[in-house]
């Protein structure tokens, strides 16, 4: 274990909570790392607050937490799940001082084709003002019952998510820090093709694409998390050693 102070910013997903990153937080802390498992604005509050966010508010908040941690440690990694993975990639495109970025289950764009129609015909939001989370993207039945997120959220919040993913896509070629893309081949929410597109768009040579064979979308909580954590551990160790 390096004597350097190594830090991690963990970023949860859309409508999610920091609890979905807690298993990874505990794992990393047990490895001796300093971890800030953040709660994004508009999450763990109300669906109304969530709906009235902008993509910049979300990204700027995560960046503030990143800067705070960078002032406390020698090296810092950003790791996110789903939308949090996209945020990690965006931050990596803007911060050369990040040691590495990890994106789990990250979408290249919103996989639901209906989102395109919402953008083209905003009046449709009035016809279906709410969307619902069912946790069907989780395979582990016990985790599915316990998973915390907004059960119902405003459809209009999809607009700022689309903006965020658009900005992330645009900036993928700017990433020049080591990047790990991690995806479950059984993810029912974000197809594996998204991970491959993200990987291909990153021009940095130090990039890695890995897959796990079990579990769904919420990698840090679901079946296969131990395998995923082992992959992360090995990758992080190689980056710390290579950056020394």
Beta pairing partners, 7: 34, 76
Quote the pLDDT of residue 212: 98
The structure tokens listed for 111 are: 């996989």
CA distance 113 to 62: 28
Q: What is the pLDDT of residues 126-173, one digit of tens each?
A: 767 668 778 788 898 998 888 888 888 878 899 999 999 999 999 999
Write the CATH number for 138: 3.40.50.1820
Quote the pLDDT of residue 14: 95
What domain range is 234 assigned to?
6-243
pTM of this structure = 0.93
Number of H helices and number of E strands within the chain? 10, 8
Q: Is residue 71 part of a domain?
A: yes
Tell which wins on pLDDT, 226 or 116. Answer: 226
Q: Is residue 216 part of a domain?
A: yes
Q: Is the pLDDT of residue 114 over 70?
A: no
Q: Name residues whose C-beta falls within 8 Å of residue 234's C-beta, 6 or more positions apart in sequence.
A: none
Q: Is residue 64 part of a domain?
A: yes
Q: Are 6 and 33 within 8 A, CB to CB? A: yes
Domains: count for the chain: 1
Beta pairing partners, 37: 10
Q: Is residue 74 part of a domain?
A: yes
Quote the pLDDT of residue 115: 67
Q: Is residue 1 part of a domain?
A: no
Q: Is residue 87 part of a domain?
A: yes
Q: Is residue 179 part of a domain?
A: yes
Q: Is residue 202 part of a domain?
A: yes
Give the helix ranges, DSSP H, for the chain.
Answer: 22-30, 47-51, 55-70, 83-94, 114-120, 124-127, 141-146, 157-171, 192-201, 225-243
pLDDT, average across residues 59-65: 98
Quote the pLDDT of residue 1: 45
Q: Is the pLDDT of residue 244 over 60?
A: no
């Amino acid at each position: 274990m390096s004597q350097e102070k190594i830090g991690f910013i963990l970023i949860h997903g859309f409508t999610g909570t920091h609890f979905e990153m807690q298993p990874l937080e505990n794992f990393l802390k047990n490895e001796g790392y300093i971890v800030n498992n953040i709660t994004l604005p508009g999450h763990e509050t109300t669906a109304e607050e969530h709906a009235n966010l902008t993509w910049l508010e979300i990204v700027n908040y995560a960046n503030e937490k990143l800067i705070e941690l960078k002032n406390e440690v020698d090296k810092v990694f950003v790791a996110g799940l789903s939308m949090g993975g996209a945020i990690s990639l965006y931050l990596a495109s803007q911060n050369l001082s990040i040691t590495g970025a990890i994106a789990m289950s990250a979408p290249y764009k919103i996989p639901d084709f209906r989102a395109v129609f919402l953008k083209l015909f905003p009046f449709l939001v009035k016809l279906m003002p709410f969307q619902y989370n069912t946790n069907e993207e989780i395979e582990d039945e016990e985790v599915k019952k316990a998973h915390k997120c907004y059960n119902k959220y405003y459809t209009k919040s999809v607009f700022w998510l689309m903006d965020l993913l658009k900005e992330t896509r645009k900036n993928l070629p700017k990433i020049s820090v080591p990047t790990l893309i991690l995806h479950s081949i059984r993810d029912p929410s974000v197809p594996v093709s998204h991970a491959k597109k993200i990987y291909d768009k990153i021009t940095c040579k130090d990039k890695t694409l890995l897959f796990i064979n079990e579990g769904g979308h919420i990698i840090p909580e679901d079946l296969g998390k131990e395998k995923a954590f082992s992959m992360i551990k090995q990758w992080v160790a190689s980056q710390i050693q290579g950056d020394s």
